Structure 1
Amino acid sequence: MNNWFNAFYAQIAQTDLSPWLETLPSQLRHWQKDAAHGDMPKWEKVLKNLPQTETQHINITDKVEFGLANELSTGLDKKTTHLLKRMMPWRKGPYFIHGIHIDTEWRSDWKWERLLPHISPLSGKTVLDIGCGSGYHLWRMRGEGANFVVGIDPTDLFLCQFQAIKHFNPDPLVHLIPVGVEALPELKAFDTVFSMGVLYHRRSPIDFLAQLKAQLKPGGELVLETLVIEGDEQAVLMPTDRYAKMRNVWYIPSCEALKLWMTRVGFKDIKVVNEDTTTLGEQRATDWMETESLEDFLDPDDKSKTIEGYPAPRRAIFIAKV
């Protein structure tokens, strides 16, 4: 764990990201002390026991696939599957590791296919993904030619899942840093910032939008995906308690309301490029995520509503410039 971030420090020292070094090492030292008291030692043991393989086949252009099945013996295949399953639940993916299909709760590849035709080319870009989970989209960004890809997410399990995947493709230009967006200084250093599935978890969505803007270079692009409701620019849903059994949902705006918020913060050229209701095929329980999923969050008699009676999850993708 102590060595996971040293290469990142060295890489950003001579770049526009160098101001981050004023705060990040101290933040990660504090994180390591806290992580040592949870499940991190168990997951570190899993990482140490993953087999050393010669991964010849790498595909990050139309999926995330590292290695072929014939590169692992039958016994090693079963051992690797067992180790990776010790890091359940796997929520964002899917991943294909030497023939092992990590069938995650979310088909994150579907989201990527929806947004990819609408974003500016990533080739040669420095890219940030805020709230990146286990890092599935980081690999897809790299597959589109991004020169340096950084994800941030404070969840210990997601970092370990990312490290498990990276074990089979140790690309030095893809990193996950376990901090939240509030820990970021105003870097103004990224060509593209992604934030997918985070806005509605923030108590202050306006402050969050300002934090996203503060990471972008002049002329940079924001790719924002979030829950929305139908309505005009004043329409916002604030759940009384839970939304789809989630306690940490604060504000779900209409597309027009969110466009207004983004305008007030200073974003320009704001476009809604996709709006879709989440289907039971895109989010579901699997052998790699065995607890409740979308089907359990909806009204069993009316799938157009959550179990609490709110509109069922509907998601939109926004593209904007600074």
Structure 2
Amino acid sequence: MIEYYQDLLNDLADGPLAKWAEKMPEQIAAHLNEKRYGDLPKWQAAMDAMPNIQAAHLNFKNLVHIGEADEIDAQTQATLEEQLRALIPWRKGPYQVFDTFINTEWRSDWKWERVLPHLAPLKNRTILDVGCGNGYHCWRMLGEEASRVIGIDPSPRFVVQFYMLKKLIGQAPVDLLPIGIEELPENLQAFDTTFSMGVLYHRRSPMDHLRELKATLKPGGQLVLETLVIDGALGDCLVPEGRYAMMNNVWFLPSTPTLLSWMTKCGFKNPRVVDENITSLEEQRSTDWMLFHSLNEFLDPNDQSKTAEGHPAPRRAVLIAEV
């Protein structure tokens, strides 16, 4: 799949990310490896079988809308949907792709509507989206006229989903690399805005993650952090001994005062909470594009203010800070 990254590699060859660009082909090959991921050939075959078309109409400003229904015939539409469905589950979205509505597990557009009013304008900014999934928010950032968006996520399924859609979109300054943040060059200081949404609670060391995020930003750059939190005072933090909402990779859920303290300790300036809400069953749910258990099954059936394990139900906060 290295050919899908050629425009990115060319664009970065002479700029502040040039040294990282030199390492990218090796990183891409290491992660998009059929020996590591047995389903990868099947996913690539679905992408290769997609119709060779590009959308005439694109909208990333108010939603992610790729093409209009009348741009392609019924057979082409059926073939396109068949290949897109081969990559189920689709978790972040939704996407309107010609006449196909990809009704994803998450209403990621709702999160974007909560986040966007609090951001420094994204126009002409270089942006990093850490743990971006299939890249839904990356397209919304392009809709705000960002000059270059790079998403990173180590899941090959998400990477293939992203490039299936980008094949329909054509050239755009948005790419998704199959790596984790720990594989970025140290002290990069190259991005105007860095997003980390839905990642912090999956990290064994939240302080290290915050420092890694800070190292990606230019002086004056902005961090957008979205994560699970608990209701509590300074110093409060839930460390689940087992699973949390059926997830076995949740390590730290701090209160917002605790998280603000961590951010200050890591050197961020003016950290502040700009949004906090309880995740609803309308925002995260099973659909015909994500057929597995979702939030409804992760909560106590007799008390939806609690997870299945008895912890507080998912509460998510958005925090902004600068460096």
The bucket for the TM-score relative to the shorter chain is over 0.9
The aligned counterpart of 2:295 is 294
Please tell me whether residue 27 in structure 1 is matched to residue 24 in structure 2.
Answer: no
Residue 35 of structure 1, CA deviation: 5.7
How big is each residue's C-alpha offset from its partner over 1:179-202, in whole Å with a ceiling of 9 and x where there is no partner?
000001121000000010000000
The aligned counterpart of 2:284 is 283
Partners of 1:307 and 1:36 in 2: how far apart?
A: 33
Kept in 2, the 8 Å contact 1:56–1:67? The answer is yes
- SS in structure 1 at match of 2:3: coil
Kept in 1, the 8 Å contact 2:125–2:146? The answer is yes
Instruction: Work out the percentage of aligned pairs sharing the same amino acid.
Output: 50
Residue 297 of structure 1, CA deviation: 0.2
Where does the alignment leave 5 or more consecutive residues of structure 2 unmatched? none
Residue 277 of structure 1, CA deviation: 0.1
How big is each residue's C-alpha offset from its partner over 1:91-110, in whole Å with a ceiling of 9 and x where there is no partner?
00000100210000000000
Partners of 1:14 and 1:249 in 2: how far apart?
A: 39
Please tell me whether residue 262 in structure 1 is matched to residue 263 in structure 2.
Answer: yes
Partners of 2:222 and 2:247 in 1: how far apart?
A: 30
User: Number of matched residues?
Assistant: 322
- SS in structure 1 at match of 2:169: coil
Greater mean alpha carbon deviation, residues 130-139 or residues 25-34: 25-34
The aligned counterpart of 2:311 is 310
Please tell me whether residue 215 in structure 1 is matched to residue 216 in structure 2.
Answer: yes
Partners of 2:124 and 2:37 in 1: how far apart?
A: 39
- The residue type paired with residue 307 of structure 1 is A
Where does the alignment leave 5 or more consecutive residues of structure 1 unmatched? none
The aligned counterpart of 1:247 is 248
Partners of 2:184 and 2:245 in 1: how far apart?
A: 30
Residue 252 of structure 1, CA deviation: 0.4
- The residue type paired with residue 141 of structure 2 is M
- SS in structure 1 at match of 2:213: helix
TM-score normalised by length of structure 2:
0.97
- Structure 1 runs of 4+ with >3 Å offset: 32-37
Partners of 1:217 and 1:206 in 2: how far apart?
A: 19
Partners of 1:69 and 1:236 in 2: how far apart?
A: 49
Map 1:1-322 to 2 at 5 A. 1-34=1-34, 37-185=37-185, 186-322=187-323
Residue 55 of structure 1, CA deviation: 1.3
Aligned-CA RMSD value:
1.1
Kept in 1, the 8 Å contact 2:202–2:249? The answer is yes
Shift of the 35–314 alpha-carbon distance from structure 1 to 2, 3 Å rule, reads farther
Kept in 2, the 8 Å contact 1:125–1:191? The answer is yes
